[in-house]
Amino acid sequence: MELNYNRDLLKSVLTMLGEHDQTCHHMSAENIVIFNSKYHTPPQEELLSTDPKYHEPAQADFLIQSDDPAIREKFESIKKRILDNRKNT
């Protein structure tokens, strides 16, 4: 019974996708086939690192090549933060 519910739910989601996303309007699901198996594949761990750690410290020796005072002020602020962080470590 649960498999039938999941099959119907999947079919309705695919139908709604075609209605809400114009790039998928040509897609349709006539038949959904589900295979029930006693074999289970354990989920694989994802090794995604979205926060890389760099061992070398940042340098505040970059040139600011902009005439726009707002941009120049932002980069000066970045330089100041880099120098402050280097003092604190």
- Domain count along the chain: 2
Is residue 73 scored above 90 in pLDDT? yes
pLDDT of 49 reads 66
Does residue 32 sit within a domain? Answer: yes
Sign of CA dihedral 34, 37, 40, 41: negative
Does residue 51 sit within a domain? Answer: no
Let me know whether 89 and 60 are in one domain.
yes
Q: Give the pTM.
A: 0.40
Does residue 75 sit within a domain? Answer: yes
Does residue 3 sit within a domain? Answer: yes
SS3 at position 37: coil
* Residue-range definition of the domain harbouring residue 26: 1-36
Let me know whether 60 and 88 are in one domain.
yes
Does residue 67 sit within a domain? Answer: yes
Does residue 47 sit within a domain? Answer: no
For Cα atoms 89, 65, 72, give the angle at the middle one, nearest 5 degrees.
Answer: 65
Is residue 61 scored above 80 in pLDDT? yes
Q: Which residues contact 9 (CB under 8 A, 6 or more apart)?
A: none
* Spatial CA neighbour of 76 closest among 64, 85, 67: 64
pLDDT of 86 reads 83
Least confident interval from 8-22, 43-57, 74-88: 43-57
Q: How sure is the predictor about 50, in pLDDT bands with cuts at 50, 70 and 90?
A: low
